[in-house]
Amino acid sequence: MSLGPKKIEGRPVPRPSRSAGVQSYALEVAKGVALTSAHFFRNTKEMVFAQRNDPILESVEEGVNTVMYPEQRRPYPARFRGLHRLTQREDGSPRCVACLCCSTACPAQCIHIVPAEYPEDDPRHGYERYPDEFVIDELRCIFCGFCVEACPCDAIRMDTGMHAAPYDSRDQFIFDKERLLGFPGRDGGHLSQNPRLEAGDRDYPGVTREKGH
Residue 124 sits in a domain of what CATH number?
A: 3.30.70.3270
The gap between the terminal CA atoms of the chain, to the nearest Å, is 97
Is 29 domain-assigned?
yes
89 and 71 share one domain:
no
pLDDT tens, position by position, 116-174: 999 988 878 887 899 999 999 999 999 999 999 999 889 999 999 888 778 888 999 99
pLDDT tens, position by position, 10-20: 788 888 888 88
Is 9 domain-assigned?
no
96 and 119 share one domain:
yes
62 and 128 share one domain:
no
Is 30 domain-assigned?
yes
pLDDT tens, position by position, 85-126: 999 988 888 999 999 999 999 999 999 999 999 998 887 888
95 and 173 share one domain:
yes
What DSSP character marks residue 191?
A: B
33 and 59 share one domain:
yes
Handedness of CA 187, 188, 194, 196 (dihedral sign): negative
**Residue range of the domain that includes 130:** 85-182
Mark which of 44, 75, 106 sits at the end of a domain: 75
Identity (one letter) of the amino acid at 69?
A: Y
Please give the Cα distance from 124 to 93 (Å, whole number).
Answer: 12
Backbone angles phi, psi at 33, to 5 degrees: -65, -40
166 and 135 share one domain:
yes
Please give the Cα distance from 167 to 191 (Å, whole number).
Answer: 28
Is 198 domain-assigned?
no
Buried b (16+ CB within 10 A) or exposed e, 120-139: eeeebeebbbbbeebbbebe
Mean pLDDT value across residues 5-27: 81
89 and 172 share one domain:
yes
Global pTM value: 0.67
Q: Please state, for a pLDDT cut of 70, what percent of the chain lies above it.
A: 87
164 and 110 share one domain:
yes
168 and 94 share one domain:
yes
Backbone angles phi, psi at 175, to 5 degrees: -95, 120
100 and 175 share one domain:
yes
136 and 176 share one domain:
yes
Is 105 domain-assigned?
yes
Is residue 186 predicted with pLDDT exceeding 80?
yes
CB atoms within 10 A of CB 27: 10
> Closest Cα partner for 179 from 192, 193, 190?
190
CA 85 to chain centre: 12
Is 150 domain-assigned?
yes
Please give the Cα distance from 72 to 80 (Å, whole number).
Answer: 17
Q: Please state, for a pLDDT cut of 90, what percent of the chain lies above it.
A: 41
Number of folded domains in the chain? Answer: 2
